[in-house]
Amino acid sequence: MVGEACVPRALFGGAISTAFPARFQDVSDIREVPDHQEVFVDPARDESLIFELLDLKGEVDDAGSALWFLRDIANEQDAGDNLVIEHSGTLELAGLRLGEAPAVAGTSVGQMAVSKGRQGREAQNIVRLYLANIRLKNAATDVLITAYEPLLINPLSESAAAVAAGPAIPAEQAGCLAMSEIFKVAVMKFNVHDWNLFNGGP
């Protein structure tokens, strides 16, 4: 039985809230993070959660937006040529309503080989990337929620020092919630409390 729970977490000064395990540390305590991002990491497992607010990409179709952003991130990380899409779908948000209907996030999950920081291709790790896109059209904002789960750590990667090289220890074995579940909860619990964060009301 996994005892780890997701706990409420405030984002962007409390304007947004969600929930995920307490083991994820706020990266802004360690280094500077751009204003439009909130980044959390569990160094012991090399897992990370990123919440990002972007200007709405009006030219991107709603139905395929999560997949579009997933491919965009893969290309940014020089992994566009090895991205393998595993799944695409939707998640309904528990608390956030847009008009009369609950907000819905498009989701996409894929595997790719990426290097840490400035390391080269010889140090690539295999990671699973979970991505959700919540389209807040009333606020002209695309919200991205991304979760990185390492599957295979390269011995040459910076990550090897913290979590050891080779296949990642399954979450259940480590007494942790699976990243797939953490991602799902973080998306479904996502809520906006202060629309002024987006320089305007709904």
Q: Give domain limits for the chain.
A: 6-198
Element (H, E) at 88: strand 84-98
- Tally the residues of the chain: 202
pLDDT for residue 10 is more than 90: yes
pLDDT for 89: 94
The segment with the largest mean pLDDT, out of 23-37, 66-80, 118-132, is 23-37
pTM of the model: 0.89
What are the pLDDT digits (tens) for 182-196? 999 999 999 999 999
Q: What share of the chain is helix, strand, coil (3-state, %, to 5)?
A: 25, 40, 35
Query: CATH fold of 6-198, please?
Result: Protein Transport Mog1p; Chain A (3.40.1000)
pLDDT for 43: 85
What are the pLDDT digits (tens) for 81-118? 788 898 999 999 988 988 888 899 999 999 988 766 56
Cα 37 vs. chain centroid, distance in angstroms?
11
141-153 and 7-11: which strand pairing? unpaired
